[in-house]
Every structure is written in C-alpha cells, then in structure tokens.
C-alpha cells in the first residue's frame, strides 16, 4: 500500500474512534443507576466459567474460607485475652 492510503485509513479510524467515544459518553451520561445494575446483572447471569477458571474459582473460594476462619480464630484469641470471651 502507498503511504498516502495508509494515512487516509488511519485518519478514518481516528474519526471513527472519536465518534464511538462521543456516543459512549452520551450513553453513559443518560444511564441510570437502575439501568447500570440491570446491565451488570445480565452480564453476571450470562457468565459461564471455563474449566480452568472454575478450578481457579474453587481455589479462591477455599482460600477465602480459610482466611475467614483464621481471622475468626485470631479475633477469638484476642477477645479471650482481653477477657471478653470465656
């Protein structure tokens, strides 16, 4: 391709990007919290993890549970040390 054609194509992409960004800003400015929540809920409802993601989520869930249990034990020990628990 000639350099002039490439410049023209890139300029067209830049104009399209500006238009798309302007439309996105307008749409977001009109978006209500309720509409945003509905869109979010729809996205979450349609998400399906891949097997690799599911395994990662299981590990994350296990880590979260283990961390919560450890924190609970730490708080119980602190409360006992302060005489707040028997």
Please name the residues in contact with 57: beta carbons below 8 A apart, sequence gap of 6 or more.
49
Phi, psi of 49 (to 5 degrees): -70, 145
pLDDT 10s digit of each residue in the chain, 86 long?
699 999 999 999 999 999 999 999 999 999 999 999 999 999 998 888 888 888 888 899 999 999 999 999 999 999 999 999 88
**Residues with Cβ < 8 Å from 86, sequence gap 6 or more?**
80
Give the whole-angstrom CA distance, residue 65 versus residue 4.
60
């Amino acid at each position: 391709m000639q350099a002039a054609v490439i410049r023209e194509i890139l300029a067209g992409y830049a104009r399209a990007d500006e238009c798309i960004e302007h439309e996105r800003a307008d749409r977001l400015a009109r978006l209500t919290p309720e509409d945003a929540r509905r869109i979010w809920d729809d996205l979450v409802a349609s998400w399906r993890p891949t097997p690799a993601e599911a395994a990662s989520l299981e590990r994350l869930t296990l880590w979260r549970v283990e961390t919560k249990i450890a924190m609970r034990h730490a708080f119980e020990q602190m409360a006992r040390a302060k005489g707040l628990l028997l």
